[in-house]
């Protein structure tokens, strides 16, 4: 099983991307492109397939999400990268103050950042609910099923296989959705 590696001096980071407002696919593409624009030297190393998923813990009538995972190499530490992703969300129209699980143009969740483990009031890496979310595990497992995150024993593929039935995810496109 492969562990998250940091052989280039850059951190290999996984970012979950989601949108359920307006042109969902366009929002994801624009958000990832913007992220790359504001992260000097960053490059995409992997793109998971695109899935359509039912909203989880959202208000009734909320539009379905498009979800995927993008893996990048970048030179920022986790807290700095989180600030950048929050800035990109705001740039895409996400208000800073909002109801929990409100519809959103763009959602960027930092899943892992190299071999770093962070647990404070601002950030938790690896993402604390990653192993419970089919809409994150399905695209991540398709891209890096053998990945074992820091502090974990099971691979991403094993975590996905262990989830109970439910929370259906429907494949919409392969990793080419981003058009890199």
Query: What pLDDT shows up at residue 4?
Result: 47
pLDDT band for 7, please (50, 70, 90 cuts): low
DSSP assignment of 129-148 equals TGGG-HHHHHHHHHHHTTEE
What class is the 2-178 domain? alpha beta
- In the chain, where are the structural domains located? 2-178
Q: For residues 84 and 34, is the Cβ–Cβ distance under 8 A?
A: no
Query: What pLDDT shows up at residue 144?
Result: 95
How far lies 167's CA from each of 29, 62, 98, 158, in Å?
Answer: 24, 15, 24, 17
pLDDT band for 101, please (50, 70, 90 cuts): low
Mean pLDDT of the chain: 88
* pLDDT per residue as tens digits for the range 72-99: 999 999 999 999 999 999 999 977 766 6
């Amino acid at each position: 099983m492969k562990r998250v590696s940091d052989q280039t001096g850059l951190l290999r980071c996984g970012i979950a991307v989601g949108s359920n407002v307006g042109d969902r696919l366009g929002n994801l593409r624009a958000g990832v492109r913007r992220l790359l624009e504001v992260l000097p030297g960053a490059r995409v190393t992997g793109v998971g397939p695109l899935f359509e998923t039912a909203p989880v813990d959202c208000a009734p009538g909320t539009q379905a999400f498009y979800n995927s995972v993008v893996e990048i190499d970048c030179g920022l530490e986790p807290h700095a990268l989180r600030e950048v992703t929050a800035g990109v969300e705001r740039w895409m129209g996400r208000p800073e103050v909002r109801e929990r699980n409100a519809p959103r143009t763009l959602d960027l969740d930092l899943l892992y950042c190299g071999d770093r483990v962070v647990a404070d009031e601002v950030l938790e890496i690896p993402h604390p609910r990653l192993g419970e979310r089919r809409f994150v595990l399905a695209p991540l497992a398709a891209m890096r099923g053998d990945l074992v995150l820091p502090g974990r024993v099971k691979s991403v593929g094993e975590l996905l296989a262990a989830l109970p039935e439910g929370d259906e995810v429907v494949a919409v496109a392969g990793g080419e959705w981003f058009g890199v």
